[in-house]
């Protein structure tokens, strides 16, 4: 299961209107490892003034790796996290997550990070099974 969704949130979804803040809180509680990474990236961009930030440390466990994959793999989850932190997430491999300011997606840094070239160069033998 990707998220530990409350019965109240399920009922909201059945009716049709979901409180996005409640959804975001569900993500935060369900995926704490992945949430913490995005929180750090957002801090580096908005508090420390970095143009973009990435986190390229292999997750400490398969459970943590799964959290990261669930966060970036689900469009609704990823979108809610991006809106909450006001970032655009970009992902390589099983552990290299980057955050960019949404109004800076025309920057060379963003174009380079999401390029086919960078994806190929980020491949290493130890990450083939991630």
Domain membership flag for residue 36: yes
User: How far is Cα 44 from Cα 39, in angstroms, rounded to an integer?
Assistant: 9
In a domain, 75, yes or no: yes
Residue numbers of the domain that contains 63? 32-127
Q: Could you tell me the two tokens for 112?
A: 């380079």
pLDDT tens digits for range 81-121: 999 999 999 998 767 899 999 998 999 999 999 889 888 87
Tell me whether residue 24 is in a domain.
no
**Angle of CA points 40, 82, 35, to nearest 5°:** 40
Tell whether the model's pLDDT for residue 20 goes beyond 80. Answer: yes
What does the pLDDT look like over 38-85, one tens digit per residue? Answer: 999 999 999 999 999 999 888 899 999 999 999 999 999 999 999 999
Structural domain includes residue 50: yes
In a domain, 7, yes or no: no
- At residue 119, the pLDDT reads 80
Its pTM stands at 0.89
Within-domain flag for 56 = yes
**Do 9 and 27 touch, CB atoms closer than 8 A?**
no
Residues of the chain with pLDDT > 70, as a percent, come to 93
Number of domains in the chain: 1
Is 13 domain-assigned?
no
């Amino acid at each position: 299961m990707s998220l530990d969704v409350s019965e109240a949130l399920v009922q909201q979804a059945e009716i049709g209107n979901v409180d996005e803040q409640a959804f975001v809180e569900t993500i935060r509680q369900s995926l704490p490892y992945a949430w913490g990474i995005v929180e750090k990236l957002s801090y580096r961009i908005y508090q420390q003034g970095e143009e973009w930030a990435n986190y390229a440390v292999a997750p400490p466990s398969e459970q943590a790796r799964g959290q990261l994959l669930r966060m970036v793999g689900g469009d609704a989850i990823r979108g809610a996290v991006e809106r909450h932190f006001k970032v655009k997430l970009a992902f390589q491999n099983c552990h290299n997550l980057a955050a960019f300011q949404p109004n800076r997606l025309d920057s060379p840094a963003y174009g380079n990070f999401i390029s086919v070239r960078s994806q190929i160069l980020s491949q290493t033998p130890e990450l083939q099974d991630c």
